[in-house]
């Protein structure tokens, strides 16, 4: 059990994450200690369907959230009066789940008379490297998850400038769809990475969409289609272990090339706008992939920059990053009204990023 902190000088935020298929709760201290965190991944609930079913996810969040909350507060040895604020993912995401988490957070904030902080899930990912590595602003961020693929300059809390985004699929989605056509189950990323370890990345000539084009946007649809066509051409489909490993390795290598090229463009732009580019931060579920991390590290180093990647458990969806983003907003003097509506879409750089009411 964690030691009870001096509550007079420190700040502790409770964070709730329910935007996809993870129900998660965490208590994070302003000294960057994760006092406690609990997580329930709904893999079993969705496995039979090959992807996340929104209604099943929302129901599972409803069933799991309260026990996780009680356990997190007990593990952290925190009573409600010791909390500075309650933060919850309020979008973007599957709206049923977002409503469950945000409503719980508002109810607790009301009952315990604490400030409520509405956190953008993407902001949670964007600031996670400040929790794990104390990274200073500004930095260049590659955000790669199941629903998003973006390059952005993170200039401060709430100050995000999108350099590029995907024109079609997110990178995690491309991993998941590749896994699906190969019969590898959901989520696909970890399975593809595991198989790729024993594969020949040069065997299949797969496309690198947008290669040679200026800018920082991404496209993965053509790559995904090429993988499907390659599977269809194989005599045994993806049933032969070596064929499957070679295809996964070739796919992952194509993804690495695409990321390396687009990040190279983004580092140039960042250096032009901010004078220098010393850090490339990678976050989001796909950042758990060690092969891609290695590729990004080489890309950053070739530019004279460091690659900063939070530990894998902070890259995939979790509540510590939501509590931390809430804490950063709280420290910036921002609070939200209990009238704020959960939202399925919420761009990180839109004017409506300023949902928040300064006090």
Site for ligand KG4 (CB under 6 A): which residue of 105, 316, 321, 325? 316
Q: Taking the C-alpha atoms of 303, 311, 325 and 297 in order, what is their torsion angle to the nearest 10 degrees?
A: 10
Choose among 255, 249, 264: nearest CA to 293.
Answer: 255
The answer to the question of residue 250 lying near ligand KG4 (CB under 6 A) is no
The answer to the question of residue 22 lying near Zn ion (CB under 5 A) is no
Question: Can you tell me which residue has the tokens 């990023």?
Answer: 353
The answer to the question of residue 145 lying near Zn ion (CB under 5 A) is yes
Question: Can you tell me which residue has the tokens 């059990």?
Answer: 1
The answer to the question of residue 193 lying near ligand KG4 (CB under 6 A) is yes
φ and ψ at residue 323, rounded to 5 degrees: -60, -40
Question: Which residues within the stretch 315-344 sit at the binding site for Zn ion (CB under 5 A)?
Answer: 317
Question: Which residues within the stretch 172-191 sit at the binding site for ligand KG4 (CB under 6 A)?
Answer: 172, 175-176, 187-190
Shortest distance, position 17 Cβ to ligand KG4, whole Å? 9
Shortest distance, position 169 Cβ to Zn ion, whole Å? 15
Shortest distance, position 251 Cβ to ligand KG4, whole Å? 10
Number of amino acids touching ligand KG4 (CB under 6 A):
19
The answer to the question of residue 284 lying near ligand KG4 (CB under 6 A) is yes
Question: Strand ranges (DSSP E) for the chain?
Answer: 12-17, 22-29, 34-41, 85-91, 116-120, 139-144, 149-156, 159-165, 279-283, 306-308, 334-335, 357-358
Task: Provide the token pair at 335.
Answer: 């609070």
Give the binding range for Zn ion (CB under 5 A) out of 51-59, 72-80, 106-114, 309-317: 309-317
φ and ψ at residue 181, rounded to 5 degrees: -65, -20
Q: Which is nearer to Zn ion, 220 or 303 (CB)?
A: 220
CA 336 to chain centre: 23
7-46 footprint of ligand KG4 as x/- string (CB under 6 A): -------------x--------------------------
Task: Provide the token pair at 209.
Answer: 């969409």
φ and ψ at residue 102, rounded to 5 degrees: -70, -35
Alpha-carbon distances, residue 114 vs 17, 80, 108, 316, 332 (angstroms): 18, 9, 8, 28, 16
Shortest distance, position 145 Cβ to Zn ion, whole Å? 4
Q: Which is nearer to Zn ion, 317 or 336 (CB)?
A: 317
φ and ψ at residue 164, rounded to 5 degrees: -165, 155
Q: Which is nearer to ligand KG4, 51 or 82 (CB)?
A: 51
Binding footprint of Zn ion on the chain (CB under 5 A): 145, 317
Binding footprint of ligand KG4 on the chain (CB under 6 A): 20, 145-147, 172, 175-176, 187-190, 193, 284-286, 288-289, 316-317
């Amino acid at each position: 059990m964690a030691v009870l902190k001096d509550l007079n000088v420190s700040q502790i935020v409770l964070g709730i994450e329910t935007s996809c298929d993870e129900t998660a709760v965490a208590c994070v201290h302003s000294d960057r200690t994760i006092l406690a965190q609990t997580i329930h991944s709904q893999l079993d609930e969705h496995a039979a369907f090959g992807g996340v079913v929104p209604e099943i996810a929302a129901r599972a969040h409803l069933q799991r959230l309260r026990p996780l909350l009680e356990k997190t507060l007990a593990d952290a040895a925190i009573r409600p009066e010791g909390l500075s604020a309650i933060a919850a993912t309020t979008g973007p995401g599957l709206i049923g789940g977002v409503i469950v988490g945000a409503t719980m957070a508002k109810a607790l904030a009301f009952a315990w008379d604490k400030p409520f902080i509405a956190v953008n899930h993407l902001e949670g990912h964007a600031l996670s490297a400040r929790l794990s590595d104390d990274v200073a602003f500004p930095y260049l961020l590659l955000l790669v998850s199941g629903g998003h693929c973006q390059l952005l300059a993170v200039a401060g809390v709430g100050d995000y400038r999108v350099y590029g985004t995907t024109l079609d699929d997110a990178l995690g989605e491309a991993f998941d769809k590749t896994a699906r056509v190969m019969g590898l189950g959901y989520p696909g990323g970890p399975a593809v990475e595991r198989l790729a370890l024993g594969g020949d990345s040069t065997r299949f000539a797969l496309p690198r969409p947008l290669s040679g084009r200026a800018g920082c946007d991404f496209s993965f649809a053509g790559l995904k289609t090429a993988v499907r066509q390659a599977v269809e051409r194989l005599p045994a489909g993806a049933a032969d272990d070596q064929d499957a490993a070679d295809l996964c390795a070739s796919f992952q290598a194509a993804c690495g090339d695409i990321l390396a090229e687009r990040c190279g463009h983004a580092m140039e732009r960042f250096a032009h706008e901010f004078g220098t580019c010393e850090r490339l931060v990678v976050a989001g579920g796909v950042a758990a992939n060690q092969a891609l991390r290695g590729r990004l590290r080489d890309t950053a180093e070739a530019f004279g920059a460091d690659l900063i990647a939070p530990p894998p458990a902070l890259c995939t969806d979790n509540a510590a990053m939501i509590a931390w983003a809430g804490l950063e907003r709280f420290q910036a003097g921002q609070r939200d009204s209990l009238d704020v509506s959960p939202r399925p879409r919420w761009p990180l750089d839109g004017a409506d990023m300023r949902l928040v009411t300064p006090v």
